[in-house]
Structure 1
Amino acid sequence: MPFLSSRVIRGAFLGAPQNLELRTIGSHDDTPAPEQPDAGEIDLREKARQEAAAILAEAQKEAGDIKEKARQDGYRQGRQEAAREMEAQRRAVQEQARDLLRAAEEKRREILRGLEEEIVDLIVETAEKLVMQQLSRDPQAVRAVVQEAIALVRDRAQVYVYAHPEDVPVLEESRDELLAALRPNAVLHIVPDKGLRRGGCLVDTPQGMVDATLDTRLEAIRKALGGR
């Protein structure tokens, strides 16, 4: 029975007291205590640690300086390259602007040359029309042209005046006035020429000729105005 067994065991222990000796297991009185580092060794270790930390800090600082220098160098190099590129672009733009200005100036001159020719042609055409209108209103107008022409050969003894047939009657009527412009005893011949236009004449002498035709006078006007 369980209860009975428990009583027997308990009684057995109570009836037979025994002495027990307690010992520390694994403990030996003769084991030496660990050696403690002296103060000098501690100082050396601390100094070494501090030096290592200083070296590390210096290395980190140098690494940072190198990185910053590289960044600054890269920045400066980038700025220099950008400046060179901008300068190249500026020069290219200036050259393009100069080319455009040269082209514009040449175009302007070309236009002006064309306008000048048109203006000269207009002036010559207007002068021709005025001469013809003047002749239609006053047939005597050709006389002034002939007088001016023969005045250039006033010392000649023989003078031939060639004029358009429609202008010849007017010149014949003015023969005395024309002779007065020449030397005494000069001989004046008035000859009709269908090849000449009205309003002008050719004055011929043995020593030379004076071209006072309308076409020649209009051409002189054109040249005076700078036309071709």
Structure 2
Amino acid sequence: MKNQKVYALHDVKGIYVLQSIGYQSKSYPDGETVARKVNDEEERLKTLEIAKDEAYKKGRLDAEQDFKLEIEKIKSECASLTALFQNAVNQLIDKREKIWQESESEIIKLILTISNKMVGEGISNHGKDVIKYVVKEALSHVCGKKIVAVRVSPDDAKKINLLEEVKVVDQNIKILEDGTITSGGCVIETDFGSVDCQIETRWEEIRKALVENKNESAVR
């Protein structure tokens, strides 16, 4: 806007003097300037919005990365704990096997001792039936061979008539009392040798079988 002259009235010694002074009128932005400012503001807002989105994305990526790192850390710790647990289990298994190997022989002896005692009590209570069964079984192993004699303990020889009880066809077989044979056992003598059916002999066979099985397991 152009300067305009404005006159002011001054009183100088009773005389009013009219003096002109310069006056700058207030200017207003034109439409182009306003449009430019609006555009600049819009650009600034867009820049802020982009920066906001980028910051959000970066924050999310950082959070995801931190989460992944935490998951990997937990997995690593779990793997370590699993390895420790498996190692402890393996040690327990090895210890158990070692204890078993060290005590297996004693356990076998204990089992045989207890079983032998139980069998002995069974023989004492049912001696007659036991000796009959043992003699019958022994005779079944010598089929086709000539039986010379059956040796039994003195107690069993007094309890029953074996030849009648076991229904032996050849009544010429001798029943011999043998003080070395314990009750419930017998020895069959044939023309080809003898068959030992004593309780002690059977227990020894069982013991040997258990020991052999133990040794085979140790080799495996």
Q: TM-score normalised to the size of structure 2?
A: 0.55
Q: Measure how far apart 1:77 and its partner are.
A: 2.8
Match of 2:47, SS? helix
Match of 1:190 in 2: 176
Percent identity over the alignment is: 15
Given that residues 179 and 188 in structure 1 are in contact (C-alpha distance below 8 angstroms), is that contact kept between their aligned partners in structure 2? no
Match of 2:186 in 1: 201
Match of 2:4 in 1: none
Larger RCO (alpha carbons 8 Å, 6+ apart): 1
In structure 2, the CA distance between the partners of 1:143 and 1:22, relative to structure 1 (3 Å rule), is: closer
Match of 1:152 in 2: 141
Given that residues 152 and 175 in structure 2 are in contact (C-alpha distance below 8 angstroms), is that contact kept between their aligned partners in structure 1? no
Tell me, yes or no, if structure 1 residue 43 matches structure 2 residue 35.
Answer: no
Match of 1:210, SS? strand
Q: Where in structure 1 are there 5+ consecutive unaligned residues?
A: 1-17
Match of 1:174 in 2: 161
Pairs within 5 Å for 1:101-112: none
Q: Measure how far apart 1:120 and its partner are.
A: 6.9
For residues 51-100 of structure 1, the C-alpha deviation after alignment (integer angstroms, 9 at most, x for no partner) is 22222111111111111111222233333344445555666677778888
Alignment length (residue pairs): 192
Match of 1:59, SS? helix
Question: Amino acid of the residue matched to residue 205 of structure 1?
Answer: T
Match of 1:56 in 2: 44
Match of 2:53, SS? helix
Larger Cα-atom Rg: 1
Q: TM-score normalised to the size of structure 1?
A: 0.53
Q: Where in structure 2 are there 5+ consecutive unaligned residues?
A: 1-12, 215-220
Match of 1:210 in 2: 195
In 2, the alpha carbon distance for the partners of 1:19 and 1:179 equals 177
Tell me, yes or no, if structure 1 residue 75 matches structure 2 residue 63.
Answer: yes
In 2, the alpha carbon distance for the partners of 1:51 and 1:143 equals 122
Q: Measure how far apart 1:50 and its partner are.
A: 2.2
Match of 1:9 in 2: none
